[in-house]
Structure 1
């Protein structure tokens, strides 16, 4: 007999209140006869489950029944604890208390298997954690935030936003939020958000927000197909940045073929390799990098 099927029956009854045997058979993908055997087994195990006939009959649990932890296997208990541990690692409210209580109920040692540190290397951890605490409170309590935003175009903007969720993408944290000024949803990069405060205003979550495809940040730039080559000594940096499928080994080093957004990050990244990178394609990218180096030389020569 499947323990997971017994749990599914109990969960369904807790959720619906009552159900017919054919309904449970369809949910569990077994025969009605098997469901009645399962009901007998649950009843014999001390679960207060009843089958009544008549117009308002059906299978139900005793009122105020609470699921005991005995129905869970040791593996399932550990998976639940590990899930709550994940919430604790990202400082979810009251997760530590929940973890402690579940550990006592399950009589199972807590698995301290994950730790998350939002702060960047060289930063003040407490300061960055405060930012995430504000954003977390704003999302959970539906509070409007106000912040100064430094865009890649060089503009400094003061914005209000209705935050929906935090998103971690490509080594950066973003806030997915509705921007009243633009009357649309936007992704704001957290590292560019400064002076973040709660305005005291609340907002109603818009129904469409859960079904939206996350937008690409406005300042990300269009994707550019490129091909680069690097010597052997640059391998570690390539695997820090690119998916393994984009990197191929050559006799003299590595070749990278990828589609990356053409923005300041791309030029900064390529130029950070100095003479340890060769742009194979496109030629336009190589010409733009040459122009940037020439501009830098003119700047420093002018200072001399």
Structure 2
């Protein structure tokens, strides 16, 4: 079933009065039988649509029918259009097309007051194509399979019943029930590779509260203290919560925060370069120094 197709059929009938099932089937690239099912569903929803046979026949709306937009207040119409604009920011399939049609139906010009792009600069188009793929699997309750790299760099094969897409802390995640671990899990989409939507259907499970899922992620978290040079203010304010930041007398910044454990943490701290002046606890500092030695050896094999 396609809600967007039903809406577009209604939109076309409002403007073209009468269309044949063959014309609609060709437009939507579906069978005439599918079109007649759509008409039945529109009729069941209270839309006075009917099909007539014979010469000059076709699918029409009852004479005098007008979409009663007055059922929605001006504020409600604006709220719907703003919500659709927000969906286009997430590259939601068909949102922009529906936005245009509703704007014309409400006789409103859309004011693109907000523009959001969640993808990183220079990201590949293949990343954006993941959203329709994952959305389809979630809506149709289909199991997906993929290779996954965890925060320690370990690769595993996963089979998951997808539940929702989540944007948090500058990245997209997939929530779902992992069949391998037999429990709810959150997967960072950037680490999911070779995603395949299977024909295996599943019964949706009760939703897991986000707070509970976050507790699972932070179960192995470690308390980290950092000192970052004053010149690193842009990184500090971009990447750390206000309550974790302390400004030192010399202008440097003190950070005290919990981080999920994993080799990614050392890589992230190394990305601070010379802005990083101190780090604790001592075992984490030792791992960072070890990584620096390994980098030095890789770049300069002659170095002692």
Does TM, normalized by the shorter one, top 0.5? yes
Contact 1:176 1:214 survives alignment (8 Å): no
SS state of the match for residue 191, structure 1?
A: helix
Contact 2:142 2:198 survives alignment (8 Å): yes
Aligned to 2:245: 247
Contact 1:228 1:256 survives alignment (8 Å): yes
CA 1:225/1:107 → structure 2, altered by over 3 Å: closer, same or farther?
Answer: same
Q: Give, in angstroms, the shift of residue 230 of structure 1.
A: 1.9
Aligned to 2:92: 92
SS state of the match for residue 236, structure 1?
A: helix
Larger radius of gyration: 1
Structure 2 gap ranges (5+): 1-64
Partners of 1:129 and 1:274 in 2: CA distance: 31
Q: Give, in angstroms, the shift of residue 66 of structure 1.
A: 10
SS state of the match for residue 215, structure 1?
A: helix
Q: Which moved more, 1:195-204 or 1:90-99?
A: 90-99
CA 1:92/1:149 → structure 2, altered by over 3 Å: closer, same or farther?
Answer: same
Q: Which moved more, 1:210-219 or 1:286-295?
A: 210-219
Q: Give, in angstroms, the shift of residue 302 of structure 1.
A: 4.8
Structure 1 gap ranges (5+): 1-64
Contact 1:225 1:259 survives alignment (8 Å): yes
Structure 2-normalised TM-score?
0.67
Q: Give, in angstroms, the shift of residue 118 of structure 1.
A: 4.5
Contact 1:142 1:203 survives alignment (8 Å): yes
Give a deviation string over 1:97-152, Cα, whole Å, max 9, x none. 43233323332221323344353333322x11222221111111211111111223
Structure 1-normalised TM-score?
0.67
After superposition, the CA RMSD in angstroms is 3.0
Q: Give, in angstroms, the shift of residue 84 of structure 1.
A: 1.8
What does 1:1-80 align with in structure 2 at a 5 Å threshold? Answer: 68-70=68-70, 72-80=72-80
Q: Give, in angstroms, the shift of residue 270 of structure 1.
A: 2.1
Q: Give, in angstroms, the shift of residue 218 of structure 1.
A: 7.3
